[in-house]
Amino acid sequence: MNIHEYQAKAVLKSYGAPVAAGVAVFSAQEAEAAAKSLPGPVYVVKTQIHAGGRGKGKFKELGPDAKGGVRVVRSVDEVKSNAAEMLGNTLVTKQTGPAGKQVNRLYIEDGAAIARELYLSLLVDRGTGRVAFVCSTEGGMDIETVAAETPEKILTLPIDPESGVTDLDAIRLAEALKLEEPAKSEGMALFKTLYKAFTDKDMSLLEINPLVVLEDGHVRVLDAKVSFENNALFRHPDIAELRDETEEDPKEIEASKYDLSYVALDGD
C-alpha cells in the first residue's frame, strides 16, 4: 500500500526525522490559509499523487509551457493562485503513464535553503533477505539513471537484523554521502531512526529523494515515498486508515476485497 508524501512525512516525523512544516490542503482557500500559518517567505506547492517525477510532470489541461507539479513560490498570493491552477487538473509524469492522475490534494510546505541534494532509501534486498540501505550523492535524480551512468556513486548496505544499524553502518553511510558536521552526526542518527520506522511499520520501501543538506549544515527529509507490506496491514490499523483508494486502479481494489494479489497492466 502506498501513501502520500505528507502522510509519509508525518509517520517519519513521529519517529523524530527532520521534516519541514507543511499542511495538506484540498482547495485554494485552504492553501492560502496554510501559507499564512507557515514561516515563509518561500513556500513549496506540491501535488499529492501516488507517482514520482511530479516536479518534471506536465498538466494535460494547462499546455506545454505550464509549470510542473512541484512549484516554489514567494508569496501567499502565489500559493493561492498556483493551488487553484493545479487542483482538479491531470498531472502526467513518467510513472503515471499517458493517462496521468487527477490532482485532488496539495501539500503546502515551508521552503528550504538547499546546499546539497542526496539520495537515500531502504528496501528489502531479495538477494540477502535483509533490509538494505541504498544511498548516493546524486540526489534529485532517478536512481535508475544514476545506476546506469555512474554506478560507482551508489552504495548498497544490507543491515544485520540481529544488530540493526550499528555505528559502523552509520559511519559507512555518512562517508558514502560525504557528510560533514553537523550533517554527519544528524545523518548517523537519522539512519537509525529510518531503519526503526521501516521495521516497526512493516514498510516495503522508504525512499527519500532528495535528502538535503541545508545551507546551515543541517539535514532535512525533503521528499518521502513510503510503501507498506499489504500482508502486514492488519498489525497497523493507523496505517491502513491512510489508504487513498482514489489513487488505485478499481480492478486492484476489487481484487483486494478477496485477498487476491492483482496488478493491472497495460492492454485490454
Beta-sheet strand order (sheet of 90-92): 58-59, 90-92, 101-102
Residue (of 73, 84, 71, 79) closest to 27 by Cα position: 84
Q: What are phi and psi of 235, to 5 degrees?
A: -85, -10
What separation in angstroms does the CA of 268 have from each of 93, 164, 265? Answer: 22, 45, 9
Instruction: List the catalytic residues.
Output: 119, 207
* Grid cell locating 184: 554527519
DSSP notation for 182-250 = THHHHHHHHHHHHHHHHHHTTEEEEEEEEEEEETTS-EEE---EEEE-GGGGGG-HHHHTT--GGGS-H
Q: What are phi and psi of 40, to 5 degrees?
A: 65, -170
